[in-house]
Amino acid sequence: MRCKGLMRAGVVALITAGTLAACAKNPVTGRSQLMLVGEDQGVQMGAQAYQEIKSTEKVLPAGASFTKRVRAITERLIQANDLPNYEWEVNAFQNDEPNAFALPGGKVGVNTGMGKVAANDAQLAAVIGHEIAHAISHHGEERISQQMAVSTGLQLGSAALGLGGVGNSAQITELMGQAATLGIILPYSRTHESEADEIGLYYMARAGYDPREAVKLWENMSSMGGEKPPEFLSTHPADATRINDLNAEMPRALEYYRAAVGK
């Protein structure tokens, strides 16, 4: 009973550390966010990380056709959605992995491999819009804040176990860490992905890209196959979940699209 009480105290400390500063809101959806990292800090970290990526990855020249394509799509998304006046920087990277990213402060990167999965500009806009949504929603800063809170909570829980004279406190602390990963970090990651899917869908629609192409993109991604972990162990929703969620938002997205193209 004593051990259970101390472990419960450790878990309470973890949860408390993760909720004390939950006072920010997502600027797009209004969802409450834990934010221990300020926007200026996020922009600084994003710029630093971007420089590191550019120093290790092969950046395509500005005159490359894929670079021009990625930059044109990104600019169209920025203008159509009146996005923040960041020091936007957009580059294409010579990398066969179908991946893209957007860091805090508007640092965008798209691998050439994504161009092989995205069948047209609209599908590429779905990818870039999704990544920009992460940056605008401060998901990077939120993830860092979550990890900081969980780390603090685990330290407090471990101290409580140690002071209570529990002999296997290290093992219990490790189990608490695993529980935190499954119960806090991964679900929040899936929340971020789903949120970015929804916001990105609206971004592309307002820019005049057919939002139905976002569903086709994920169908393309799903057809690539490969082993994937169960959804509850993954930082990303299952492909089928993403497709269903996108279809649920499609009526509203189509309204934005039709208004943008004048139909």
Q: Give the active site residues.
A: 131
Residue type at 78 in one-letter notation: I
Whole-number Cα distances in Å, 111 to 58, 114, 205, 262? 10, 6, 23, 32
User: To 10 degrees, the CA torsion angle through 25, 26, 30, 36?
Assistant: -20
